[in-house]
Structure 1
């Protein structure tokens, strides 16, 4: 009975993967044929079945871009970038789509250390950093075993210093993976989806008008109150707008 259940489970899993691949092929064929609306519909169907991937978000972004829906393209390129932060094709197409954004915001300069830290973090995805952390920790355990059980003083010294280096790598890679995971789960960034939005000084229609922003702009969500969101731009300006004006990345 147990083997029968396992066979049924494996068969169901195989059919699910086959159906998913068939749906992706169908979406890609629509895209190649220039049937962008049908491609959008099919890629969205894949995402709605909880099959997220950088490839699907990237292809969906391309479909929106080809159909002239640049804001939706930016949103999906940003989602693809979360899953594959070092992918150059995603970044290139995101930069192209951002050229259609009305607002030109000059970001606040970052200190060298923070800029370097973020750059290193984005070199790998969350899964890749997690694998580096696990593998390096296993290597550390092996080196610790050598240090405690070998009789050679040279091996002891080498395993000690190599172990220190490896455990530092494990800690840093774990931290990078955690940062990526936090960014993916908290969804603290969003894209403006309304043609234009007036940002208020307080979470009410009676608040003072601070500045005007337009669709496609990326903002950081700092707080929320009812149907209002407090956002911050990359240049440091902050204010409140209605939550239906944005869509989280």
Structure 2
């Protein structure tokens, strides 16, 4: 059993090293402006199961250079899911959106919602979870000092600090849960059809509501057979064939 475990670790290490070599080759192709070759190699890395914000970001850049905005935006958005606080990703998304047809103003959000989302999106689910665990253990240490200390001043300080750190642990755990939920559900998608008419019902005979174009980011709110109900940034809703969408 130990021998098999060692062999498994060796194979994983070799696979990781091979992926790093492929990523380096893709980067070299990108620097040489050989964007199609870079795309093939980055896609190869993702197909092997290695998912990272950096690979998605680099792949998005390569697609951007070829003028394929839907695929560029798809990969930028996937990178953002894994690294929500990355300013470079946000900047490139804004630039790519300037190159698509639909420039739809999103519905205004309440101040508290913007403030809350701004904090949550500063880090990934894993990072928030790590912060939560650290704060929880700090709270336990402070509580231990509180119970065993013989000095009243130390007791007061450690008690209130333990309460604050425990509250911080709960808060950051909620941040991690929210980010994990977004990552798992993936209810957003990019339109890949050059132009498509949104219908009032999940059927080709439904009433035409409005026209949207490739590259637009939408939220999937419902599903029926081969149709998806979507909501665009301004709040309007309707149905599209799922073949016109690619989930982020």
Q: Shorter-chain TM-score: which interval?
A: over 0.9
**Equivalent residue for 2:139?**
140
Partner of 2:78: 79
Q: TM-score, normalised by structure 1?
A: 0.96
Alpha-carbon distance, 1:14 to partner: 2.3
**Inter-partner Cα distance in structure 1 for 2:101 and 2:9:** 51
Q: SS of the residue aligned with 1:229? A: strand
Contact 2:199-2:206 within 8 A present in 1 as well: yes
Secondary structure of the corresponding residue to residue 42 of structure 1? helix
**Alignment partners' CA distance in 2, 1:79 and 1:235:** 22
Matched, 1:127 2:126: yes
What's the CA shift string for 1:143-198, capped at 9, x where partnerless?
11112222211111111110111011111111111111111111100000001111
The yes-or-no answer on 1:231 pairing with 2:238 is no
- Structure 2, unmatched stretches of 5+, are none
**How far off its partner does 1:13 sit?**
2.7
SS at match of 1:116: helix
- The equivalent of 1:179 in structure 2 is 178
Partner Cα distance (2:73, 2:129) in 1: 28
Which aligned pairs between 1:154-169 and structure 2 lie closer than 5 A? 154-169=153-168
Normalising by structure 2, what TM-score?
A: 0.97
Q: Verify the 8 A CA contact 2:97 2:103 in the aligned structure 1.
A: no
Distance in 2, Cα, partners of 1:211 & 1:41: 35
Matched-pair contact (CA < 8 Å) for 2:190–2:215: yes
- For structure 1, list consecutive stretches of 5 or more residues without a partner in the other structure: none
Aligned length: 248
Q: Where does structure 1 differ by over 4 angstroms across 4 or more consecutive aligned residues?
A: none
- How well do the aligned residues superpose, as a CA RMSD in angstroms? 1.2
| Mapped partners of 2:154, 2:85: distance in 1 | 38
Deviations 1:43-102 (A, max 9, x none): 001001110001000000000000111111011000001111111111111111100121
- 2:67 paired residue number: 68
Equivalence for 1:25? 24
Separation in 2 of the partners of 1:9 and 1:100?
46
The CA distance in 2 between the partners of 1:210 and 1:247, in whole Å, is 21
* Residues 217-226 or 17-26, more deviating: 17-26
Partners of 2:155 and 2:132 in 1: CA distance: 23
Greater shift, 95-104 or 13-22, is seen at 13-22
Alignment correspondent of 1:192 = 191
CA distance in structure 2 between the partners assigned to 1:116 and 1:49 by the alignment: 38
Q: SS of the residue aligned with 1:151?
A: coil
Kept in 1: contact 2:192–2:215 (CA 8 A): yes
1:216: which partner in 2? 215
User: What is the Cα deviation at residue 139 of structure 1?
Assistant: 0.4
List per-residue Cα deviations over 1:199-237 (Å, max 9, x = no partner): 111111111111111110000000000001000111110
Residue pair 2:104, 2:233 contacting (<8 A) in 1 also: yes
